[in-house]
Amino acid sequence: MKIANRGEVSPFYAMEVMKAANKLEADGKRIFHMEVGQPATSAPKAVLEAAAKALKDQPIGYTEALGIPPLRRAIADHYGKMYNVDLDPSRVVVTTGSSTGFLLSFLSLFSTGDRVALAEPGYPAYRNILGALDIEAVGLPCGPETNFQPSPALMDQLPGQIDGLLVASPANPTGTMLTPAELEKLIGYCAEKEISFISDEIYHGLTYEQDAVTALQYTDDVVIINSFSKYFSMTGWRLGWMVVPEQLVPMVEKLAQSLFISAPAVSQHAAVAAFDCEDEVRGYIDAYAKNRELLLRELPKIGLDKLAAADGAFYIYANVSHLTDDSMAFCQKMLSECGVAATPGIDFDPHRGHEYIRLSFAGAYSEMEGAVEALRAWLK
């Protein structure tokens, strides 16, 4: 049997670490889970109730490929309430998680051989999905001097033609954010150079010092990717959305019809209720903020003092170059010896990630306290 090479992508190391951590935990070892962005909380209560009602009252079958109209309207209304953006629901595409949104956006915007710029460090699935589609992922080295975010000056340093730029603010793994002025400048740069702009906004709402702004506040000629997974604590519900320019809707719809048919129906009916759960969601964010405060205070005391800003999301990106030049081996040793599960930086940056690790603070406060004490004893 001949096997295609498009599946030869790098492993998603965060998931590999989780698998190893789960095995150790099953064998009886105490594990502090900081390897994946998995909220400790369930979906909001009203979402659970709406799911139960849908299962009881709805014939759970296929939906329209673009999503059920009530959910598309609720998402559009969300942009009015959160950002004061008047969004036509016809531009909203409901997806099976944000991952489907990335696939649909890449397929509809780029052709084989096109080149898409990505910040390094950045979410590894961007690079892997592009590679599987024979689209070149062009790494854009970003460091502390630009808050680990892209800039027009960095874009100008890239050789050859660039067809797209994918930006995440807040970002994974760093948690850093672009200022409104920086985001507007990047969007203007891409418009001038005829570079397609994709804005990953799945960590919007999870911010601690300043609110995030959507790219839609500056232009309609962008693709927005978002999800119910992080802000609404609905990772396993596999539900996200896109906002696309009007002219892109027919193409995205046809691709979605053939590739996915529709997003999960129960999740769609339940998610309509998510936008009425702001008080409960605010409680989630307060918990993340408490975890963040603990780590930013205590990690420097135990020798982890070179940290990205963590403006949003729920990650700490730590420089460990004074401890190792092999973040994979370091994370494996840390897991086996003190039970703290973290993701090696090579997951996010294949060139400089050997000097970094990512710690997720999406878990319970007690988990964060235990991890700090375990690291304190291990690093002394």
Give the domains, in start order, of the chain with CATH numbers.
Answer: 13-42+278-379 (3.40.640.10), 45-276 (3.40.640.10)
**Across 364-376, average pLDDT:** 96
Overall residue count recorded for the chain in this entry: 380
The residues that bridge with 241 in the sheet, in sequence order, are 94, 226
What string of H, E and C letters represents the secondary structure of 111-180? CCCCEEEEEECCCHHHHHHHHHCCCEEEEEECCHHHCCCCCHHHHHCCCCCCCEEEEECCCCCCCCCCCH
pLDDT digits (tens, 9 = 90+) for 248-266: 999 999 999 999 999 999 9
Q: What is the pTM of this model?
A: 0.94
Contacts of 52 (CB under 8 A, 6+ apart): none
Closest CA to 344 of 13, 12, 10, 11: 13
pLDDT digits (tens, 9 = 90+) for 185-223: 999 999 999 999 999 999 999 999 899 999 999 999 999
**Across 61-86, average pLDDT:** 97
Q: What percent of the chain has pLDDT over 70?
A: 100
- Cβ-contact 313, 175 below 8 angstroms: yes
Contacts of 319 (CB under 8 A, 6+ apart): 306, 307, 355, 356
pLDDT digits (tens, 9 = 90+) for 7-66: 777 778 788 889 999 999 999 999 999 998 889 899 999 999 999 999 999 889 999 999
Closest CA to 218 of 166, 244, 180, 164: 180
Closest CA to 358 of 333, 375, 341: 341
Residue indicated by tokens 């969007």: 187
Closest CA to 285 of 214, 213, 360, 206: 206
**Across 369-373, average pLDDT:** 97
pLDDT digits (tens, 9 = 90+) for 128-185: 999 999 999 999 999 999 999 999 999 999 999 999 999 999 999 999 999 999 999 9
Residue 123 confidence class, pLDDT cut points 50, 70, 90: very high
